[in-house]
Amino acid sequence: MDILSIFLVVLFLFNILFAGIIIFIERKDASATWAWVMILFFIPFIGFVIYLFLGQNLTRRRLFDWERFRQIGIVDIISKQMDQIRNPEFSFHDEDVDEYRDLIYMHLINNDAILTKDNQIQVLTDGEEKFNQLFEDIQKAKDHIHIQYYIFRYDSLGKKIIEELTKKAEEGVKVRVLYDELGSRKLKRKHFSSLTKAGGEVGVFFPSKFPLINLRLNYRNHRKLTIIDGQIGYVGGFNAGNEYLGKDKTFGYWRDTHLRIKGNAVDPMQTRFILDWNQASKHFSIDYEPRYFPMKSNEGNATVQIVSSGPESEWEQIKNGYMKMIMSAKESVYIQTPYFIPDQSLLDALRVASLSGVDVRLMIPNKPDHPFIYWATYSYIGLLLKTGANVYIYENGFIHSKSIVIDRKMNTVGTANIDMRSFKLNFEVNAFIYHKETSEELAQAFEKDMMESTKLTEELYNKRPRWIRFKESISRLLSPIL
């Protein structure tokens, strides 16, 4: 037997070994298992390398220190709220909130997501508007600023953020910045030298153990959070970079959705940041001090739950929330997402809603920022169109908004896309909002965006070229691991 034959036999045995690991040890879901087996057997060796980068499993790892979190009384609040919701005689002050008690209970028991009241919510859909408001709030900060982004560019916007944070650090405000290494792969610690010299701290989520390469292409921290003085919180789709101001010629205008929240919902946002920070920054951990959870003034009437999910969790909390919302819809479901790669359960929920007479509307971009994901999205759209759902292709630049509005009564806005990466592989955070006024504002924003969109009919969809259909088919096969 020559050397080449021996090599091929060894390669074949390695493929069998890794296929066995995927099937019997990792216990991935069936669709992901078949996708990996296909890659391993059709592209040997290269498939093995891809698996090293993308196929790791975090579900059995303990990443976050929940013990100190539980010591601040959250468990008692959750237990009390669960007892109240289970009591059929208990009713919320707002009947629209009472309508979603099953969803609220699910988030309580499944995610420790306390229900907060008296929140004031500002919807931000334009990058200039969002960052101008953020800079104004940063300049008024008195005690601390906590900022977390998946993508943090060292461009003119990123430099301005660092400059403003440095000024506050020099004034004695405690400033912490957390970013994901892969999402912000061109960002260097030296870029924050002025901030750290002024007393600011910088943390990196899942940094590489090797120079120039990060083996964790999956399991990235996709959350975008800002907490200022424990009084103001930001959550949504905008990252920090010039493209989010519409300055990228490829994408043009950047349409996104972000929330500025004042009220009790800021406390769970703060808790989420502290958990992420303490995981990433081993040398500068944050204690749960009262300064980070100050008393709030009752400035609004919105009811909110902050829900997070990640690959270390047994449950797909945000996806489960999406499904429960859709199944509760009686009149309308408005969805904006840059990527639409649902699993079968979520796709079935949308199809059943549409077939039941619910007005299901989906809005996606007209251009890809990730080609395989874009073509996989198109493969799923056809299944929705057959049920009578309405699909809109946003034409005024790039839509990156991650929002769902149900019956113009409740909504969710956050960082999670409708794809398997957000549901299973990334760390995400969403605000679930039980508030008619905010829901109406988001519904009207959707309808305004419809004026800048092309409606995709089933007839138009069926006219797409064979080459496009081929790319869709290949992308859909890979969708469980995209």
Which residues are designated catalytic? 222, 224, 229, 400, 402, 407
Rg (CA), the chain: 23
Distance of CA 356 to the CA centre of its chain: 29
Minimal CA–CA distance to 151: which of 244, 249, 31? 244
Pairing of strands 359-365, 390-394: parallel
All residues at 6 or more sequence positions from 228 whose CB lies less than 8 Å from its CB, including other chains:
137, 138, 140, 141, 144, 145, 146
Torsion 39-41-44-49 (CA) sign: positive
Amino acid identity of residue 436, one-letter, is: K
Residue 148 phi, psi (nearest 5): -140, 125
Q: What is the spatial distance between Cα 121 and Cα 289, in angstroms, rounded to a whole number?
A: 25
Q: What is the spatial distance between Cα 465 and Cα 471, in angstroms, rounded to a whole number?
A: 10
Cβ atoms within 10 Å of 345's Cβ, excluding its own: 11
How many Cα atoms within 13 Å fall on the side-chain side of residue 410?
A: 26
Cβ 195 vs Cβ 230: under 8 Å = no
Q: What is the spatial distance between Cα 142 and Cα 129, in angstroms, rounded to a whole number?
A: 22
Q: What is the spatial distance between Cα 323 and Cα 437, in angstroms, rounded to a whole number?
A: 22
Q: What is the spatial distance between Cα 380 and Cα 382, in angstroms, rounded to a whole number?
A: 5
With 0-12 / 13-18 / 19 or more C-beta atoms within 10 angstroms meaning exposed / middle / buried, residue 23 is middle
